[in-house]
Amino acid sequence: MLLFYFAAWIDSGCLLGCSHEHKTVTSAVACISRAGGYVVAVENGALRQLNAKEEAEFQYANYGIEPERRQAGAVVPMIPAKALLN
């Protein structure tokens, strides 16, 4: 099975993306260069949406939100509040 990921976005109604074959969702997230970018899986030559585990990795890599806390509606700060006060 051949599986890789790429960063993708829509521009003028066209699906565009990076030309890399990322081994992980997290490395593909690092290639997102535009607001609204996403990660697409390519499995055995066919595009497919991310499965639940891959989506959780995307959410954590892109937003720093752990899936369990996101489902509970909790906000996960990227910078501790006390660091902002100093």
User: Which domain, by its residues, includes 59?
Assistant: 3-85
Report residue 59 as tokens: 């959410």
pLDDT value at residue 36: 86
Cβ–Cβ under 8 Å, residues 40 and 8: yes
CA-only gyration radius of the chain, Å: 15
Look at 82 and 23; give whichever has higher pLDDT.
23
Mean pLDDT of all residues in 25-37: 91
Residue 86 has pLDDT above 60, yes or no: no
pLDDT value at residue 85: 54
pLDDT value at residue 62: 85
pLDDT value at residue 33: 85
Q: How many domains does the chain have?
A: 1
Can you name the residues that pair with 8 across neighbouring β-strands?
17, 38
d(CA 72, CA 85): 27
Look at 63 and 6; give whichever has higher pLDDT.
6
